[in-house]
Amino acid sequence: MPVETQEERPEIMERLYRVGITDLRTVAKINWKGKVYTFLPVFEVTIDVPAEKKGIHMSRLVESITEAMSEAVEEEVGGAHGSLEELGRCVIRRLEGKHPHRRAEVWIKTHLIIPRETPASGRTTYEPYDVEVGVIKHDDNSFEKVLRVRVIGNTVCPHAMANNNGKTHIQRARGELEVRTAFDEEISLEEMIDVVESSFSHPTYTLLKTVDENAVVQGMYRNPKFVEDVAREIFSKARERFKGKIHVRVISEESIHKHNVIAETWS
Amino acid sequence: MPVETQEERPEIMERLYRVGITDLRTVAKINWKGKVYTFLPVFEVTIDVPAEKKGIHMSRLVESITEAMSEAVEEEVGGAHGSLEELGRCVIRRLEGKHPHRRAEVWIKTHLIIPRETPASGRTTYEPYDVEVGVIKHDDNSFEKVLRVRVIGNTVCPHAMANNNGKTHIQRARGELEVRTAFDEEISLEEMIDVVESSFSHPTYTLLKTVDENAVVQGMYRNPKFVEDVAREIFSKARERFKGKIHVRVISEESIHKHNVIAETWS
Amino acid sequence: MPVETQEERPEIMERLYRVGITDLRTVAKINWKGKVYTFLPVFEVTIDVPAEKKGIHMSRLVESITEAMSEAVEEEVGGAHGSLEELGRCVIRRLEGKHPHRRAEVWIKTHLIIPRETPASGRTTYEPYDVEVGVIKHDDNSFEKVLRVRVIGNTVCPHAMANNNGKTHIQRARGELEVRTAFDEEISLEEMIDVVESSFSHPTYTLLKTVDENAVVQGMYRNPKFVEDVAREIFSKARERFKGKIHVRVISEESIHKHNVIAETWS
Amino acid sequence: MPVETQEERPEIMERLYRVGITDLRTVAKINWKGKVYTFLPVFEVTIDVPAEKKGIHMSRLVESITEAMSEAVEEEVGGAHGSLEELGRCVIRRLEGKHPHRRAEVWIKTHLIIPRETPASGRTTYEPYDVEVGVIKHDDNSFEKVLRVRVIGNTVCPHAMANNNGKTHIQRARGELEVRTAFDEEISLEEMIDVVESSFSHPTYTLLKTVDENAVVQGMYRNPKFVEDVAREIFSKARERFKGKIHVRVISEESIHKHNVIAETWS
């Protein structure tokens, strides 16, 4: 029989809130409105360790991921989880039968590729977004979720524009929106992405023919914005649409400086 | 006269808590126990924006850094700030005369290189550590500081050792300790580094002659530790020595897996 | 009619070898041995610019990717490209009808997730690998390809083992193998991954039950290796199996140091 | 007596060209035109291993760095190495007395902070640059050096400007210049930085008061440039001023796209 060192009493008796595996890359399938999409996400799965146990059985966390995955894959479209947070909760549910714990977290980080239409020529363009979903089971057995999106856009400086007869500096910016809410709150990552993307001076596109490029350029100059303006617009729209604790962070990669500027706020 | 767009009333009236510059690399000098050390830190400096102002004057934040720096440089040893947090507070003090605000933060991230002695041959070895210091001025004018260190060490698995007659898997690990406390609390980054470095299975060294390597190897096998054990030891020592809110995170870069394991807790 | 600035004569007349788009993340499907796999790769596509043209039409490079992709997607299993290099060549073929050039390159970087069996319990485990494929069309119209894999494994120090009665230091290591060869040379990324993974002290696994962990630990101690040994074994196996120019780089993330060690060689 | 496993005959007899330590962060001092500057660089030091030796003695490479450093530090201004490449060669010279080899390389990566004057208000601003210096001793005992600089600037699209009555998209860009040349060729990193920085639509500054910002904005619109134009200008200036093999790479972080564009060429 193998020794189970994890079950021993530790020298320092202290509850640890988050113990587990991190930076584990694997494959996952999500049934999104009736169509199955494949992702290559990075997982973090943690549970708490009570003061009187030396450690956790790490392999059971990996098994929970693998089983939640393969169940979905086997049953194909019908069985695939309906969202990343459903997948996360399913991993925790499987973990409940495998490893005692009072608290558990699953974090899933991946890219979404969403088809869009270019602004003038109406072509299809595929836009990439970074998303992260956390599912947290608390000591009282309640489930919370954390949804994060990170979207690339741009800022057009209204101060330089006012002082230079319409000339200004423009740059890429990135907006991050986090909503922390009850698990059952219906919030889609796509709507969160829309909130951020529509708050820049203009959305960006992977494919832009000359007529589209002109539309984007003209649109940017009609809509000059400080990084502060972008943060406020994201915050205001998010608070209106999403129930929960909201955190907004916008970074503008200034074209006239070597450093970035930042605007951040939260509810 | 230039237009001051920043002073205008914004469309969306919402206070922003953190607006400023980030990822700004520069040079800084610190007088550490009577000797002047040079750093190449990365700065973040933010202030709040009230609901009724469109934006902040970013260049004044840069000026505050530059002036705090050059004052110290000009006066050389005598004038250099005594610590990274002193430098941070000095940046905020200069900002007070330049830009109205109720809340301000300065974050300074850099590397420390500390001389050590190798365990058997007694040679000098220079060990690198990542540190970050945040100074926060709250609405009520009180100052808080956040001190962070990140130290590289190792873990030696006690479970594998118990099941394989003393053979086990060993790997590099990194430990992170954060203390959030009143500005005047005396806590040195060096002592925080010691707390983390002494909690691994064994400290690591840049220079190791064969006798030193043997000492480290023998020491590691005498002190097998889960990532949980390392986290608990850091947490317990830190709570004993440092007054404030403590956060510990240890990541073990498993030699038998492609992913990492993590243990995290806080007070 | 829009102005075509790109067609103008530049002030400095100099041929540029590589002009295009980079860091473009999108979705791709590959038909690998009769089954369709989805990837979220990052693309770089470049062509040369002759001395007398000011620039290239960037959007045509994006169109080539999108069309190569959607063609494959529409025709599903039958139409999906049989490999990442087939996809790369298909992008270049589409580019030929869109944009004059003498030289073209497509680089595709992604993750592969490959099912394996654990060493003792025989369970299925999914292992992640980083791969990159480059397809280069030269001035003479010949096609070359560059295949790269990056695999995580470990090293067990034979020097420390010999000096400490079997005790030693062990750590995670990563091995990189590049083969540069004619486009039609049949080399699979999976075989390249096997070459690297089998050259460490022991392969690593995402899922390891206690019996598996014991097997890995015992196996590591039976097979101590310097980073030099790993590099030589990869190099020797690769040269035997793959026709082309070979480059090997192994990095060992030392558990007794804060820095890494490296061994690199090439044919 | 310790066993010297490194001196044994390896199973696979194959010369390795580059074996050593990498990612080692430490402190260094350089006497630059009579004033001593401190850096916190990252080192890579490698030597070759002949086919008949199993490995190298890694600690001797660390000693070479430490000794080259402390010699310079002890003798202060007079003794500090006159440049990063002098320091690199000094590390190799020390290595010659410690470890037999036919080939050696030292790579030093750090940041330079250079004082500049703002374009209108004439204030002092400190600008950060990434630099890397490689010193290579070949089998025939000749020394070669590789100098690399990475500079942040911007591009202003001339195509969009021509099609939108002077409106256009602007973005941050980064330019990389590498010169590979004989060790004794006199080339300063500062001059290389100037070549790159002067080739963008406009240089960037850490500190910009409103009058300076206006000057930069006006200057950008007077000098629209494709990423291709920037690459050609860097290449042409570099070839005129520096003897050696030149490589240029410019990345423009497009404000209208989520991906980047690239222009690259070499001599």
Each residue's pLDDT tens digit, B135-168: 999 999 999 999 999 999 999 999 999 999 999 9
Residue D4 covered by a domain: no
- Of the residues A151, A167, A256, A261, the best mutation for testing chain D's interface (the one with the most D CB atoms within 10 Å of its CB) is A256
* Host domain of residue D59: 15-101
Q: Within this chain, do residues D36 and D142 fall inside the same structural domain, yes or no?
A: no
CA–CA separation, A259 and D125 (whole Å): 13
Question: Where does a domain end: A106, A141, A158?
Answer: A106
Q: What is the pLDDT of residue B76?
A: 52
Mean pLDDT of B66-90: 77
User: If you search the block for the tokens 């363009």, which residue do you land on?
Assistant: A125
Residue A3 covered by a domain: no
Q: Within this chain, do residues A101 and A126 fall inside the same structural domain, yes or no?
A: no
**Is the pLDDT assigned to residue C71 strictly greater than 80?**
no
Q: Within this chain, do residues C168 and C254 fall inside the same structural domain, yes or no?
A: yes
**Is the pLDDT assigned to residue C76 strictly greater than 80?**
no
**Is the pLDDT assigned to residue D70 strictly greater than 90?**
no
If contacts are CB pairs under 8 Å, which of residues 48-107 in chain B contact chain A? 49, 54-56, 58
Length of chain D: 267
pLDDT digits (tens, 9 = 90+) for C207-233: 999 999 999 999 999 999 999 999 999
CB-nearest to C128 from B202, B221, B258 is: B258
**Is the pLDDT assigned to residue A82 strictly greater than 90?**
no
Q: Within this chain, do residues A69 and A132 fall inside the same structural domain, yes or no?
A: no
pLDDT digits (tens, 9 = 90+) for A143-165: 999 999 999 999 999 999 999 99
C-alpha distances in angstroms, C78 versus B30, B80, C34? 66, 70, 8
pLDDT-derived band at B242 (thresholds 50, 70, 90) equals: very high
| Among chain D residues, CA nearest to B36 | D38
List chains touching D (3+ CB pairs under 8 A): A, B, C
CB-nearest to A22 from B158, B236, B261 is: B261
Residue B13 covered by a domain: no
Question: Where does a domain end: C55, C74, C102?
Answer: C102
Asked if A25's CB is within 8 angstroms of B259's CB, the reply is yes
pLDDT-derived band at D79 (thresholds 50, 70, 90) equals: low
Q: Within this chain, do residues A130 and A217 fall inside the same structural domain, yes or no?
A: yes
Q: Does C127 touch chain D (CB under 8 A)?
A: no
Q: Within this chain, do residues B153 and B244 fall inside the same structural domain, yes or no?
A: yes
Asked if C264's CB is within 8 angstroms of D22's CB, the reply is no
Q: Does B108 touch chain D (CB under 8 A)?
A: no
Residues of chain C in contact with residue B166, where contact means CB-CB under 8 angstroms, are: 167
Q: Within this chain, do residues D97 and D127 fall inside the same structural domain, yes or no?
A: no
Q: What share of chain B is helix, strand, coil (3-state, %, to 5)?
A: 30, 35, 35
Q: Within this chain, do residues B64 and B195 fall inside the same structural domain, yes or no?
A: no
Residue B95 covered by a domain: yes
Asked if B55's CB is within 8 angstroms of A226's CB, the reply is yes
CB-nearest to B23 from A5, A259, A266 is: A259
Q: What is the pLDDT of residue B73?
A: 53
What are the b/e assignments for B183-200, b being 16+ CB within 10 Å? eeeebebeebbbbbbebb
C-alpha distances in angstroms, B80 versus A257, B76, B110? 27, 6, 17
Q: Does C256 touch chain B (CB under 8 A)?
A: yes
**Is the pLDDT assigned to residue C151 strictly greater than 70?**
yes
Q: Judge contact between D201 and D220, C-beta under 8 A.
A: yes
Q: What is the pLDDT of residue D26?
A: 94
Rounded to 5 degrees, what angle do the CA atoms A17, A22, A25 make? 150
- Of the residues A15, A62, A228, the best mutation for testing chain B's interface (the one with the most B CB atoms within 10 Å of its CB) is A228
Mean pLDDT of C64-76: 72
pTM surpassing 0.90? yes
- The Cβ-side half-sphere exposure at A77, using a 13 Å CA radius, reads 4
How does DSSP assign D79-144, residue by residue? HSBSSHHHHHHHHHHHHHTTS--S-EEEEEEEEEEEEEE-TTT--EEEEEEEEEEEEEE-TTS-EE
| Among chain B residues, CA nearest to C168 | B217
pLDDT-derived band at D36 (thresholds 50, 70, 90) equals: confident
CB-nearest to A5 from B12, B159, B257 is: B159
Q: Within this chain, do residues C87 and C118 fall inside the same structural domain, yes or no?
A: no
pLDDT-derived band at B1 (thresholds 50, 70, 90) equals: confident
Which domain CATH number covers A231?
Answer: 3.10.270.10
Tokens standing for residue C96: 């030929």
Q: Does A170 touch chain D (CB under 8 A)?
A: yes
**Is the pLDDT assigned to residue B70 strictly greater than 80?**
no
Tokens standing for residue B99: 């830009």
Q: What is the pLDDT of residue C248?
A: 98
What are the φ and ψ backbone dihedral angles of B190, each rounded to 5 degrees?
A: -65, -40
Q: What is the pLDDT of residue D119?
A: 96
Asked if A24's CB is within 8 angstroms of C206's CB, the reply is yes
Asked if A169's CB is within 8 angstroms of D170's CB, the reply is yes
CA–CA separation, C186 and C205 (whole Å): 28
Residue A132 covered by a domain: yes
**Is the pLDDT assigned to residue C245 strictly greater than 80?**
yes
Residue B6 covered by a domain: no
If contacts are CB pairs under 8 Å, which of residues 187-216 in chain A contact chain C? 206-211, 213-214
**Is the pLDDT assigned to residue C79 strictly greater than 70?**
no
Q: What is the pLDDT of residue A7?
A: 93
Q: Which of A204-213, A214-223, B2-11, D146-155 has the lowest mean pLDDT?
A: B2-11
If contacts are CB pairs under 8 Å, which of residues 18-37 in chain C contact chain A? 24-27, 37
Residue B11 covered by a domain: no
List chains touching B (3+ CB pairs under 8 A): A, C, D
Q: CA torsion angle for C69, C75, C76, C81 (degrees, to 10)?
A: -50
What are the φ and ψ backbone dihedral angles of D56, each rounded to 5 degrees?
A: -110, 165
Q: What is the pLDDT of residue A78?
A: 56
Q: Judge contact between A143 and A88, C-beta under 8 A.
A: no
Q: Which amino acid is at C154?
A: N
Q: What is the pLDDT of residue D69?
A: 79
Q: What is the pLDDT of residue A1?
A: 73
Q: What is the pLDDT of residue D193?
A: 98
Asked if C255's CB is within 8 angstroms of B204's CB, the reply is yes
Q: Judge contact between D246 and D238, C-beta under 8 A.
A: yes
Q: Does C227 touch chain D (CB under 8 A)?
A: yes
Q: What is the pLDDT of residue C31?
A: 84
Q: Within this chain, do residues D253 and D122 fall inside the same structural domain, yes or no?
A: yes
Strand partners, C132: C109, C148
Residue C10 covered by a domain: no
CA–CA separation, A202 and D187 (whole Å): 44
Q: What is the pLDDT of residue A79?
A: 62
Asked if C218's CB is within 8 angstroms of B163's CB, the reply is no
Residues in contact with D224: Cβ distance below 8 Å, sequence separation at least 6, in sequence order: D156, D157, D158, D161, D168, D201
Q: Within this chain, do residues A143 and A258 fall inside the same structural domain, yes or no?
A: yes
Question: Where does a domain end: A82, A106, A130?
Answer: A106
pLDDT digits (tens, 9 = 90+) for D103-125: 999 999 999 999 999 999 999 99
Tokens standing for residue B119: 């365990």
C-alpha distances in angstroms, A120 versus C4, D24, D258? 18, 52, 18
Q: What is the pLDDT of residue A75?
A: 52
Residues of chain A in contact with residue B158, where contact means CB-CB under 8 angstroms, are: 5, 54
Q: What is the ipTM of this complex?
A: 0.94
Rounded to 5 degrees, what angle do the CA atoms C172, C83, C196 make? 25
Element (H, E) at C233: helix C227-241
Q: What is the pLDDT of residue A160?
A: 97
List chains touching A (3+ CB pairs under 8 A): B, C, D
pLDDT-derived band at D20 (thresholds 50, 70, 90) equals: very high
CA–CA separation, D41 and D112 (whole Å): 10
Q: Which amino acid is at B215?
A: A
**Is the pLDDT assigned to residue B79 strictly greater than 70?**
no
**Is the pLDDT assigned to residue C78 strictly greater than 60?**
no
Number of structural domains (chain A) is: 2
Q: Between residues C78 and C108, which one has the greater pLDDT?
A: C108
Q: Within this chain, do residues C242 and C186 fall inside the same structural domain, yes or no?
A: yes
Q: What is the pLDDT of residue A33?
A: 79
- Of the residues B155, B208, B257, B261, the best mutation for testing chain C's interface (the one with the most C CB atoms within 10 Å of its CB) is B257
Q: What is the pLDDT of residue C81?
A: 84
Asked if C59's CB is within 8 angstroms of A207's CB, the reply is yes
